[in-house]
Amino acid sequence: MRLVILDNYDLASEWAAKYICNRIIQFKPGQDRYFTLGLPTGSTPLGCYKKLIEYHKNGHLSFKYVKTFNMDEYVGLPRNHPESYHSYMWNNFFKHIDIDPNNAHILDGNAADLQAECDAFEKKIKEAGGIDLFVGGIGPDGHIAFNEPGSSLVSRTRLKTLAMDTILANAKYFDGDLSKVPTMALTVGVGTVMDAREVMILITGAHKAFALYKAIEEGVNHMWTVSAFQQHPRTIFVCDEDATLELRVKTVKYFKGLMHVHNKLVDPLFSMKNGN
């Protein structure tokens, strides 16, 4: 496990975007070899998406041979609703890049058979050869995707009832009206994300600091589902300084010390500055 600590949100977003960019380029995707990327929604990844769009428009990155699988989608919200995750992904990312719409997979929260939709999503991931890099964010209560506290750490894609904390957090997207916030969602499971060959989790802001502490410094606990990724062989937590406020000083110093080594070896900022 790696913890990458940047000074602020913008630098954390840039680091994450350059890491994704490097991974895709190094993979050398082609017609018979697609790179498969798992993607989140919410406010945290917006800066990362803006940077990826910038790299694409500058000619540094193509998504022509990339397949994406999104983490979740609300149940019962029309696909064209401005707050659906379909709308979010197309408005904030997909329509600005060269991805084939057929390769951008998002769960259908209006499917006639929701369990069949979840099973089909798992099948599509398997048929794509699994996910090379799953990017995620977390809630203040440490949930990843909509795997709320108490979720099974080996769960698969399924229907979930949203916790009140999540509904309250999402109310800002629905004019602060709790009655408009969906109470159920389709979500990939913790086990689904754990199956990815690599996982990168973005955690920014002081309001996520306790969740980062639980993810890094305490044990694996289904009440903090992000903690499961301690057991993944290739997990990177990317955070800003504000998110480290609950960590022990020696923990921060330890991981910052490792960054000096990684900067010379695999840090995407270092490699791209040097044109590698």
The string of DSSP letters for 102-131 reads GGEE---TT-SSHHHHHHHHHHHHHHTTS-
pLDDT, residue 262, reads 63
pLDDT, residue 259, reads 83
- Residues 73 and 107: beta-carbon distance below 8 Å: yes
- Residues 71 and 145: beta-carbon distance below 8 Å: yes
In Å, what is the CA distance from 219 to each residue of 149, 223, 230? 15, 11, 8
Active-site residue, 195 included = no
In Å, what is the CA distance from 257 to each residue of 140, 214, 218? 27, 21, 21
- For residue 253, count CB atoms less than 10 angstroms from its CB and return exposed for 0-12, middle for 13-18, buried for 19 or more: exposed
pLDDT, residue 263, reads 60
In Å, what is the CA distance from 230 to each residue of 134, 217, 235, 236, 238? 15, 10, 7, 10, 14
Domain formed by 2-267, architecture: 3-Layer(aba) Sandwich (3.40)
What is the spatial distance between Cα 243 and Cα 81, in angstroms, rounded to a whole number? 32
DSSP summary character for residue 154? T
Give the active site residue among 14, 148, 195, 267: 148
- Residues 93 and 53: beta-carbon distance below 8 Å: yes
For the chain, the domains span 2-267
- Residues 94 and 48: beta-carbon distance below 8 Å: no
Active-site residue, 10 included = no
Active-site residue, 207 included = no
pLDDT, residue 260, reads 73
What is the spatial distance between Cα 167 and Cα 55, in angstroms, rounded to a whole number? 34
Give the active site residue among 14, 72, 240, 267: 72
Active-site residue, 141 included = yes
Show pLDDT as tens, one digit a residue, over the chain (276 residues): 999 999 999 999 999 999 999 999 999 999 999 999 999 999 999 999 999 999 999 999 999 999 999 999 999 999 999 999 999 999 999 999 999 999 999 999 999 999 999 999 999 999 999 999 999 999 999 999 999 999 999 999 999 999 998 899 899 999 999 999 999 999 999 999 999 999 999 999 999 999 999 999 999 999 999 999 999 999 999 999 999 999 999 999 999 998 876 665 445 544 554 444
Nearest residue to 13 (alpha-carbon basis) of 38, 57, 44, 41: 44
The CB density around residue 52, as the number of other CB atoms within 10 Å, is 24
pTM recorded for the entire structure: 0.94
pLDDT, residue 265, reads 44
DSSP summary character for residue 163? P
What is the spatial distance between Cα 178 and Cα 160, in angstroms, rounded to a whole number? 18
Give the active site residue among 117, 143, 232, 240: 143
Strands 184-187, 72-74: parallel, antiparallel or unpaired by DSSP? antiparallel
Give the active site residue among 141, 195, 240, 242: 141
Nearest residue to 39 (alpha-carbon basis) of 119, 99, 80: 99
